[in-house]
Amino acid sequence: MMRGVLRWGGHGVSSGQGASADAASAAAVALALIAVVVVTAALSQARIFAIPTVLAGLVAVSLAPVARACERIGAQRAATAFVLVFGGLGALAAVAYVLAPRFEALASEAPDIVRRLEYIVRRFEAEMAQLGGAPSSGEGGDESGSLVESGRRLVTDTAMATPALVGAAAYCVFLTFFLLAERSRIARLVLWSAQRTATRRALGRAMRDVRLQVSTYLFAITIVNICLGVATAAAFWALDVPNAMLWGAAMTLFNYMPYLGPVLVNAAVFTVQLTNTLSVDAALAPVAALALLNTIEGYWLTPGLIGRQVKVSALAIFLAIAFGAWLWGAAGALIATPALIFLRAFALRLAAGPQKRAPLERATRESRRHKS
């Protein structure tokens, strides 16, 4: 009888402990959800500060391999950061100066492109109506005018936002310089912020993974995108496509959005070419060339340079781009994939713990073993 009472009491204590553990787990999940909502709302409200901050961090991580290579041959850290940041800024300014007239010419042609596209759609509707025996609607005569007016409002809004954009750009440039020049000091501050030795080791290994893998990946992706943009410009020039350099620059920029970016560029190229030539064959030729270049880049060039060390599922990339576009618009969509890869490497190392090798490190060691 006493054994039954003790056994019953033991079950009561065990069930009570299980209930308290479940309650603690539910409370932790609720706190995590609240924290996610609060951080998301803060990032949305502080976009004018958050976007250049995140962009500066990603650019600094991307330039870190070049900075380390220069420092290994004796260059000073501050001088290296200055040359990389402001030299890159000068190169971007030169590219923008060259492309500005072409962009202005294409923007001035936007109303004509809209009218020609409207004409093509109406002609297609008329042909389909004749085949179906129904009369065409013939409405929508002022749609192009409303689109032109929307374009004018967009130009006005952009002009009014120019001072804020210039300030954000200057902040991003100087923050990138300081992050690159003071990266060792920042790493020490992050390590000293951890109170436990195990946490400090996990943070150190996570930063090492970011330094060895993510920075190399982002730098390699930047080189790949530049090569893809140059190849796109050359192919479009050979096909006699107007504004070939502008399309190459667009491909370089939008290829930071895997899957979605090339689709957007293809759609824009097809639309502009169709309205300029009124020929489906002439519009499909640059699209086919761009699809071929994307295939070469996606299946051979990028895997050959990077391998499988940083592999993210297409669903995760799509969700990251969608979330970034919802949170910060076009800027968020562009930086979503690099930010996802950065956070993924950090999270994998922290989840692996201080005594285990993260999947990123294991993949690196296995790839080196296979090469040897």
pLDDT in tens, 58-79: 889 888 888 988 989 988 999 9
Q: Are residues 60 and 167 in the same domain?
A: yes
Residue 86 pLDDT exceeds 80 = yes
- What would the pLDDT profile of 267-300 be if each residue is shown by its tens digit? 999 988 888 887 888 889 999 999 999 888 888 8
Q: Are residues 217 and 245 in the same domain?
A: yes
Q: Are 247 and 269 in contact (CB under 8 A)?
A: yes
Structural domain boundaries, residue 319: 198-372
Note the pLDDT of residue 149: 55
Q: Decide if 244 is inside a domain.
A: yes
pTM, 2 dp: 0.70
Neighbours of 207 (CB within 10 A): 18
Q: Are residues 270 and 337 in the same domain?
A: yes
How many domains does the chain fold into? 2
Q: In angstroms, rounded to a whole number, what is the distance separating the alpha carbons of residues 335 and 209?
A: 20
Q: Are residues 79 and 206 in the same domain?
A: no
Q: In angstroms, rounded to a whole number, what is the distance separating the alpha carbons of residues 153 and 156?
A: 5
Q: Are residues 248 and 339 in the same domain?
A: yes
Looking at 185, 212, 229, the residue that finishes a domain is 185
Q: Are residues 54 and 144 in the same domain?
A: yes
Q: Are 344 and 312 in contact (CB under 8 A)?
A: yes
Q: Are residues 142 and 219 in the same domain?
A: no
Distinct helix (H) and strand (E) counts, the chain: 15, 0
Q: Decide if 279 is inside a domain.
A: yes
Q: Are residues 149 and 204 in the same domain?
A: no
Looking at 154, 185, 216, the residue that finishes a domain is 185
Lowest mean pLDDT across 22-26, 64-68, 167-171:
22-26
Q: What are phi and psi of 165, to 5 degrees?
A: -65, -40
Q: Decide if 250 is inside a domain.
A: yes
The answer to whether the Cα torsion of 186, 187, 192, 193 is positive or negative is: positive
Q: Decide if 42 is inside a domain.
A: no
Q: Are 120 and 279 in contact (CB under 8 A)?
A: no
Q: Using 50, 70 and 90 to split pLDDT, how confident is the model at 178?
A: very high
Q: Decide if 368 is inside a domain.
A: yes
Check residue 298 and report its DSSP letter: I
Q: Are residues 66 and 98 in the same domain?
A: yes
Q: Are 287 and 266 in contact (CB under 8 A)?
A: yes
* Rounded (5°) CA angle 218-85-361: 25
Q: Residue 319: how many CA atoms within 13 Å on its side-chain side?
A: 7
- What would the pLDDT profile of 305-360 be if each residue is shown by its tens digit? 766 556 777 788 888 889 988 998 888 888 888 888 888 877 777 676 555 554 44
